[in-house]
Structure 1
Amino acid sequence: MYNFDVEMPSTIADAVTALARDEAQPLSGGQTLIPTLKARLAAPSVLVSLHGIAEMKGVSAQDGTVTIGGATTHATVAGEVADAYPALASLAGRIGDPAVRNRGTIGGSVANNDPSACYPAGVLASNGTVVTNTREIAADDYFLGMFETALEEGEIVTAVKFKIPEAAHYEKHLQPASRFPLVAVFVAKFADGVRVAVTGASENGVFRWTEAETALSADFSVEAVAGLKADGSSMISDLHGSGAYRAHLVGVMTKRAVAAINA
């Protein structure tokens, strides 16, 4: 580690002002940033903690939408959205381990957009909206690639909105060492169609499997996707699994998610 300043703003406006300083970087739950600093892969001169901003914490559900403050921890999401959106609560309750769930935040996860993070799949499948200090960004326009989002310099994720589907399920094939998903699929069934979001598999990060969406929107059954194969050409290939294996798992996880919804 090395020397840096830490600022603890209590309002979003104060955080935005602090982030205007040279080489300032926001600190949410710190589950990615702190290890990055320890490895000296980043060297901000100022960390702006979002932990103390009360207006960025909490969960509410109304008019078919769940809204979660950006500084809300995974553990809080798991406990407080269980009635309104069980599939999202299940996703949050299986992120990392208890230490990660009690420190990590939804805003930090969505802003970082790790290609194997859980929340991006939930946001994308739920036709969600990422709220910042300046605007609202539809999920389809927000996730741009591996660790890449539509956020601009100094922009903060203040909340995330999820549309509540008729039914949903998050199916996760766990990578035991990291506890990230090797491949995970979030299936959300809405009145006007089905959305299928995949994380952990692609070199381009979270993505919608449109072929499965079309098939399931016409016939929401395991049989409808049984013959489909995900394109493996841009899948991650590493010591944990080849691109072909991950492509196969996309189909397996999708069928399991559909079966769980129909059970």
Structure 2
Amino acid sequence: MIPAHFDYVAPTTVAEALQALADGGEDAKILGGGQSLLPVLRLRLAAPTVVVDLSRVAELKGITVEGDELVIGAMTTHHDVLNSPEVVEHAALLALTAATVADPSIRHRGTLGGALSHADPAGDLGAPVLALDATMVIASPGGATRTVAVADFFQDYFTTAVEPGELLTQIRIPKHTGWGAQYEKFNRVAQAWSIVAVAAALKIDGGTVTEAKVALTNMASTPVRAHGVEAALVGQPATPESFRAAAEHAAEGTSPGSDIGADAEYRTHLAGVLTRRALATAAGTVA
């Protein structure tokens, strides 16, 4: 289908982008990589008055290290994330996850900030960012910025803490240097959305798990932190038996839905299986 008529603006700075959003009002839409918005426009599921294209805003792109944090611009592509030496070294879980997103053409266009702002519960990037305790930086009209902990960023299906007229500008991730990591994903068709996936990062010292961070994809209306798994692991030996016991807690606190991809019972089963696999693989990648 052909999208409904809309105005198009391509700012070159964050300030210009915020002004364009203000001028467009509540019906303005932000275009990041376009991998989510363009299909919606073609199906006329959205009819914005103006589309604000962020592709020319250079300050929203790039990956830097600032002290104990990785700072990733919201318009940084999945391709750049997975190929960044800094991300591979300090947030391996995010790099591993980015490599599973769709296909190379989409990874070259799709952006980290766009995926997180879209907030599809089946999207892959939310769980690793949640597991790694990221902080989201949001620009507001008038030049102000505010930070939101990732645990408060995802609020419901396709809903985040970004208010109308605001813009996600950065994702700041504490360094997890030397941690083992794995993103274990199950889908029925290659390059499709996750039916269930598990993001796991482990810190192991002397054969004992000293810290564990685990989050689930598509087990609720937002990514979910698997606190039961984490609590069951810390202080335990990094063994298959410990991983199997901890994985039994994977579905605690979740509310999986039933759809054409899988029913809730099957998703609950998958969560346990994939958690066990993710933990075992992550333990084998500890630096």
- In the alignment, is the contact (CA less than 8 A) between 1:61 and 1:84 conserved in 2? no
Deviations 1:39-85 (A, max 9, x none): 11110010001111000000123433221100111011111122333
Separation in structure 1 between the aligned mates of residue 247 and residue 125 of structure 2, nearest angstrom: 26
The sequence identity of aligned pairs, in percent, is: 39
What aligned pairs does 1:74-223 form with structure 2 within 5 A after superposition?
Answer: 74-80=78-84, 81-133=87-139, 134-165=145-176, 166-176=179-189, 179-189=192-202, 193-202=211-220, 204-219=221-236, 220=238, 221-223=242-244
Deviation at 1:209, TM superposition (A): 1.5
Tell me the residue number matched to 1:239.
260
Given candidates 14, 17, 23, the residue that maps to 1:15 is: 17
Separation in structure 1 between the aligned mates of residue 93 and residue 191 of structure 2, nearest angstrom: 22
Deviation at 1:229, TM superposition (A): 5.4
**Residue 186 of structure 2 aligns to a residue in which SS?**
strand
Structure 1's 171 and 69: CA in aligned 2 closer, same or farther, altered over 3 A? Answer: same
- In the alignment, is the contact (CA less than 8 A) between 1:232 and 1:247 conserved in 2? no
Structure of larger gyration radius = 2
Deviation at 1:140, TM superposition (A): 1.1
- In the alignment, is the contact (CA less than 8 A) between 1:125 and 1:208 conserved in 2? yes
Q: What is the RMSD computed on CA atoms of the aligned residues?
A: 1.9
Q: Which amino acid aligns with 2:168?
A: V
What aligned pairs does 1:23-102 form with structure 2 within 5 A after superposition?
Answer: 23-80=27-84, 81-102=87-108
**Residue 192 of structure 2 aligns to a residue in which SS?**
coil
Q: Which amino acid aligns with 2:184?
A: E
**Residue 136 of structure 2 aligns to a residue in which SS?**
strand
Separation in structure 2 between the aligned mates of residue 229 and residue 162 of structure 1, nearest angstrom: 24
Structure 1's 198 and 233: CA in aligned 2 closer, same or farther, altered over 3 A? Answer: closer
Q: Which amino acid aligns with 1:84?
A: H
Structure 1's 244 and 161: CA in aligned 2 closer, same or farther, altered over 3 A? Answer: same
Q: Which amino acid aligns with 1:65?
A: E
**Residue 131 of structure 1 aligns to a residue in which SS?**
strand
With the length of structure 1 as denominator, give the TM-score of the two structures.
Answer: 0.93
Deviation at 1:228, TM superposition (A): 3.2
Which stretches in structure 2 are left out of the alignment for 5+ residues? 140-144, 205-209
**Residue 90 of structure 2 aligns to a residue in which SS?**
coil
Deviates more, 1:23-32 or 1:120-129: 23-32
Deviates more, 1:217-226 or 1:236-245: 217-226
- In the alignment, is the contact (CA less than 8 A) between 1:184 and 1:253 conserved in 2? yes
Deviation at 1:231, TM superposition (A): 4.5
Structure 1's 164 and 190: CA in aligned 2 closer, same or farther, altered over 3 A? Answer: farther
